[in-house]
A and B are shown apart, each in its own frame.
Chain A
Amino acid sequence: MSVTLDTPHAPPPRLPAVRWGTAALALAALALAPLFLGNYYLHALIIAMIFLLPAHGLNLILGYTGMLSLAQGVFFGLGAYTSALLAMHFGTPFVVNLFAAAAVAALIALPLGIPALRLRATSFVMCTLGFVVIAQTVAKNWTDLTRGDMGLSGLARPRIGDIVISQIPQYFYLILAVAVLAMLAFIALIRSPAGRCMVAIRDNETLAESLGIPTWTYKLVVFMLSAAFAGLGGSLYAHYETVVSPLVFQMYYSNTILIIVLGGGVGRVPGAIIGSFLFVAVTEALRITPELRLIIYGFVLLLLVFMFPQGLAPLVERGTEWLARLGRKA
């Protein structure tokens, strides 16, 4: 079952099998990665997976309601601070921090989303930008809670039961597990009746409303869910980097998440995945030339916009479709 409505021809019957097969292969490759790759590559993969979660969230809003949000950075940072503060003050285990981060992010998304979602697309973007700037100001000035610019550093390593995660391979599996679970949740959401309603809203809001779908409620829920995803990512970030400061609200994070989603392919399930691994691959590969790094990165962005406006996911999808057709040709 395709998750986009614009397939021009009937999909080959074996497509779902091929899709799941490819996904399973990729997952297996990741699971075996620590056996072959050194810490630096594992670190790069970890960063990709940390960004994957807020990217899924943005994919949800942008792909399924058509609103571009720069606020993922806000919820990412909120998740990071929530987890960090809980770990620092109460020594809570990892799982608690993780869910708390998602919950707090979603809760704060509610009062922010209600006024914001009434706006049209461009105004909405500016509104979310405003959230980011204000979040950073709050983080810097509410020093009693956040210690302002001094930041929260030296966070304790995450605990699962009796195991303390401190080595890179351990972190890798932990974050892989969270990412996979989040992805499965994401797919389940999209495939559900609720998901179909969201696609309907994206494609034709008026029609959806006439069918009795409460578009407003859906948009709000989507906003909160995407905040939750971003919060999860922020929690992982806090546990991995062990430092959280107001710098987590820099535009850098919001921009990165946007680039991942647009580069990967909006509204497509593999879009965020492809985008995040691509982003990390490109930015890390470019480290061999520190002076030209960001200039080349800028050109890559322009390339993406003009040569691959739909992102790179359609290419992958065409690849899987081609694979699925292979059998039929015989």
Chain B
Amino acid sequence: MGSFILEQIVNGVITGSMYALVAAGMTMIFGVLRAINFAHGEYYMLGTFGAWLVISKLDAPYAVSIVAGVAIAALIAALIGRLVMQRLVGAPFQAGVLATIGVSLILQNAVILAFGGGYKVFEGGWIEPVQIGSFGMAQQRIVLVVTALAVFAGLEWMVRKTRMGKAIRAVSQNIECCHVNGIDVESVVRRTFLLGTALAALSGVLTAPVNVSVYGGMGESITLKTFAVIVMGGMGNVRGTLIAGILLGVVEALVSGLIGLQYRDSVGFVALLLMLMFRPHGLFTQKARF
């Protein structure tokens, strides 16, 4: 039993890294914009599609497709950032909800229109399994976990040491003061949005080899799951999402393994509800701001 539990924990860390990566993006966007990005999963999908396109039409190697996928998603995100997200600064919360739902419908269905609704098989990636101790996993999984940790370390550094990072923190804390201080809020919003969606796209490309199936509607379930993670981690709290993501992955794995896979999604939302009942500001934030 002990090794079974350990194995589920390993499974959970793997899945959780992916959750954390996507959630980091959404929570950053929330931090600067106070808007919940209902279209976040679509950028995950765009990254995957971009990579798939490059591999299947141009025969590019997987490593190249990672860059290509993220780049394509980032381009589209830049456009949307300028046209839509930037205008949501200072708008009421529901405007963000409605606008991002609209964006998600457009992105999903534009992809379906362009490539057809049928699912595609993602070829490429490092899917050969390796043994780590007594656990077998595809090499891709290790890449994912390592990348996630690297990204979080990078974000941590960025937020503490770079100008952009400090600007992000400033906008997250108090927008009026930013205007007073001469920080270009709109620019910060755009760049944070770009970064956040790029993280989602990166996550998509890195999991595509093991998730195999690529289709226009694949982002929906990602968005929903990510909501749970950012609430648990504390909305706007990047560090918190890393731990929350991995924690969620682990609990989901344990529940799936011990009770049943059909309850997997409810874990996240039960955890979310419990969290909100007892610690609304998330596990890792001091006080409730939202």
Chain A, residue nearest B268 (CB)? A133
Instruction: Determine if A115 and B99 form an interchain contact, defined as CB atoms under 8 angstroms apart.
Output: no
The yes or no answer to B115 lying at the interface (CB within 8 A) is no
Looking at the complex, which one of B97, B105, B269 makes contact with A294 (CB distance below 8 Å)?
Answer: B105
The yes or no answer to B207 lying at the interface (CB within 8 A) is no
- CB within 8 Å of B: which A231-282 residues: 251, 255, 258-259, 262-263, 266
User: Which size bracket describes the interface of A in this complex?
Assistant: 35 or more
Instruction: Determine if B227 and A137 form an interchain contact, defined as CB atoms under 8 angstroms apart.
Output: no
- Number of residue pairs spanning A and B whose beta carbons lie under 8 angstroms apart: 124
Tell me the bound Cα distance from A127 to B262 in angstroms: 21
Tell me the bound Cα distance from A73 to B43 in angstroms: 26
Looking at the complex, which one of B91, B105, B288 makes contact with A298 (CB distance below 8 Å)?
Answer: B105
Tell me the bound Cα distance from A289 to B93 in angstroms: 32
The yes or no answer to A15 lying at the interface (CB within 8 A) is no
Question: Contacts of B105 on A, CB cut-off 8 Å?
Answer: 294-295, 297-298, 301
Which of B45-53, B67-75, B270-278 contacts its partner? Answer: B270-278
Max chain A CB contacts within 10 Å: which of B93, B113, B224, B276?
B276
Taken residue by residue from 292 to 330, chain A's Cβ proximity to chain B (1 for < 8 Å, 0 otherwise) reads as 111101111110111001000000000000000000000
Distance from B162 Cβ to chain A, minimum over Cβ atoms (Å): 27
Taken residue by residue from 4 to 36, chain B's Cβ proximity to chain A (1 for < 8 Å, 0 otherwise) reads as 000000000000000000000000000000101
Tell me the bound Cα distance from A76 to B154 in angstroms: 45
Which of A97-105, A118-126, A177-185 contacts its partner? Answer: A118-126
Distance from A271 Cβ to chain B, minimum over Cβ atoms (Å): 12
Instruction: Determine if A294 and B102 form an interchain contact, defined as CB atoms under 8 angstroms apart.
Output: no
Question: Contacts of A125 on B, CB cut-off 8 Å?
Answer: 36, 93, 97
Tell me the bound Cα distance from A64 to B129 in angstroms: 57
Question: Contacts of A262 on B, CB cut-off 8 Å?
Answer: 94, 97-98
Question: Contacts of A127 on B, CB cut-off 8 Å?
Answer: 272-273, 276
Question: Contacts of A140 on B, CB cut-off 8 Å?
Answer: 262
Max chain B CB contacts within 10 Å: which of A255, A262, A300, A306?
A306
The yes or no answer to B159 lying at the interface (CB within 8 A) is no
Question: Contacts of A255 on B, CB cut-off 8 Å?
Answer: 101
Instruction: Determine if A130 and B272 form an interchain contact, defined as CB atoms under 8 angstroms apart.
Output: yes
- CB within 8 Å of A: which B56-114 residues: 84, 87, 91-95, 97-99, 101-106, 108-110, 113
The yes or no answer to A175 lying at the interface (CB within 8 A) is no
- CB within 8 Å of A: which B255-287 residues: 262-263, 265-266, 268-270, 272-273, 276-277, 280
Distance from A253 Cβ to chain B, minimum over Cβ atoms (Å): 13
Distance from B106 Cβ to chain A, minimum over Cβ atoms (Å): 4
Q: Which 5 A-B pairs have the closest CB atoms?
A: A301-B102, A298-B105, A298-B106, A122-B290, A130-B269
Add 5 more A-B contacts to A122-B34, A130-B228, A294-B109 (CB < 8 A).
A126-B276, A258-B98, A266-B94, A298-B103, A302-B102
